[in-house]
């Protein structure tokens, strides 16, 4: 059997015909296995959804009670068999509840990793390396220029700026699901225990993280604060809020933005970001190449992002690699192309 007989591209995305399911389909399907709750991977309207409890809860929070016909929760390490195909979920280290899905049939294992990072993150379970025959990898930051570095150093940069400008409010643009909570947790790891302010759009998801045991310290809504009390504080907001009228409530706001794209200075400048923070929930170039090599896979399928460089790198390593052109995946979770 060839890997393509187990998983192949269909108009709705990656499809396992033998098991009658899709992985992260971009159109409504009968049965969907979902890696994580970011909106380009997790859409509403499927018949049956299999995902981790956190992913199901996050989808419910975003799309409402009726986001799918039926749902089934699965734990990390747990398997479900559909006909002769077994699917097992493993942590992807991307955001709370994120999973890689290992699909096995006839002794062949394909791992669909969704989005992932092999870097410590206080808000989610660490990435687990799953040996496989075919590894399906994302390629959001698949260029050698992308090396994210130490997120702790970026947070230190933010705190130095806060200390330097005690009369100004620091606004940190961060995607609402995952990045926002990680930035808060990283701030707490340094011992920073002042209240952290939130844009209203992040409240529900952030409270959900707390309900799953992620400690985030004292959080307040910026909405409820007076202008003078916001001096010298840190507020987390969606990237799109950095340049809207909402910022008028803050004293002399200073814009920061937490994203892997902040490695590109021109991009930071263009978006009016005074303090770029290179913090990403995706693997960087070293993370991608190290992981690909470590899986032991002989064949690599590359999805959304900068596929060419990664496919080329695989070639130099003697790995069979090809891009999978799935229409509908993006990097909105880094505040890249989309503007949430
Ligand atoms: Zn994602
Ligand atoms: Zn993605």
Residue 328's pLDDT is what?
77
pLDDT (mean) for 233-254: 96
Alpha helices in 3-104 (DSSP H): 53-63
Distance 154 CA to ligand 2 centre (A): 23
Per-residue confidence (pLDDT) for residue 329, from 0 to 100: 79
Nearest to 168 by CA among 230, 245, 119: 230
Alpha carbon of 113 to ligand 2 centroid (Å): 10
Q: How far apart are CA 118 and CA 98, in angstroms?
A: 13
Distance 233 CA to ligand 2 centre (A): 32
The CA–CA distances, whole Å, from 43 to 59, 117, 336 equal 8, 22, 19
Query: What pLDDT does residue 114 have?
Result: 96
Residue 145: pLDDT band (50, 70, 90) is: very high
Distance 35 CA to ligand 1 centre (A): 9
- pLDDT(312) > 50: yes
**167 alpha carbon to ligand 1 midpoint, in Å?**
35
Beta pairing, strands 170-173 & 134-139: unpaired
Number of continuous H segments (helices) and E segments (strands) in the chain: 7, 19
Cβ proximity of 180 and 216 under 8 Å:
no
pLDDT category, 334, cuts 50, 70, 90?
Answer: low
| Total-model pTM | 0.96
β strands within the chain, DSSP E: 8-10, 13-16, 21-23, 31-33, 46-51, 68-73, 79-82, 85-91, 99-105, 108-112, 134-139, 170-173, 196-198, 219-221, 234-237, 254-258, 275-277, 299-305, 320-323
- Quick one: average pLDDT of 151-155? 98
Residues 316, 320: Cα–Cα separation, whole Å: 10
User: Average pLDDT of 150-161?
Assistant: 98
**Statement: residue 332 has pLDDT above 80:** no
pLDDT at 121 over 80: yes
Closest ligand by atom to 117 CA? 1
């Amino acid at each position: 059997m060839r890997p393509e007989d187990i998983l192949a591209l269909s108009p709705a995305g990656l499809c396992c015909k033998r098991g009658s399911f899709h992985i992260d389909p971009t159109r409504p399907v009968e049965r969907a296995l979902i890696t994580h709750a970011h909106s380009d991977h997790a859409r509403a309207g499927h018949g049956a959804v299999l995902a981790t409890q956190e992913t199901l809860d996050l989808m419910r929070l975003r799309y409402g009670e009726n986001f799918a016909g039926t749902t089934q929760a699965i734990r990390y390490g747990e398997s479900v068999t559909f006909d002769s195909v077994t699917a097992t979920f493993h942590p992807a280290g991307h955001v709370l509840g994120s999973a890689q899905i290992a699909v096995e049939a006839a002794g062949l294992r394909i791992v669909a990793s969704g989005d992932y990072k092999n870097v410590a993150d206080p808000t989610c379970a660490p990435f687990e390396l799953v040996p496989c025959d075919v590894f399906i990898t994302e390629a959001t930051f698949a260029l050698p220029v992308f090396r994210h570095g130490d997120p702790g150093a970026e947070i230190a940069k933010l705190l130095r700026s806060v200390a330097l400008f005690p009369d100004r409010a620091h606004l940190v643009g961060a995607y609402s699901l995952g990045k926002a909570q990680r930035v808060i947790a990283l701030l707490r790891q340094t011992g920073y225990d002042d209240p952290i302010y939130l844009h209203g759009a992040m409240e529900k998801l952030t409270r959900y993280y707390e309900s799953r045991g992620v400690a985030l310290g004292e959080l307040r809504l910026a909405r409820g604060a007076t202008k003078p009390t916001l001096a010298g504080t840190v507020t987390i907001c969606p990237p799109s809020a950095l340049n809207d009228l909402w910022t008028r409530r803050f004293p002399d706001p200073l814009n920061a933005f937490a994203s892997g794209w902040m490695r590109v200075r021109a991009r930071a400048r263009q978006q009016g970001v005074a303090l770029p923070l290179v913090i990403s929930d995706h693997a960087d170039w070293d993370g991608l190449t190290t992981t690909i090599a470590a899986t032991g896979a002989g064949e690599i399928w590359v999805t959304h992002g900068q596929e060419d460089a990664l496919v080329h790198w695989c070639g130099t390593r003697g790995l069979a690699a090809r891009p999978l052109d799935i229409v509908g995946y993006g990097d909105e979770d880094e505040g890249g192309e989309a503007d949430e």
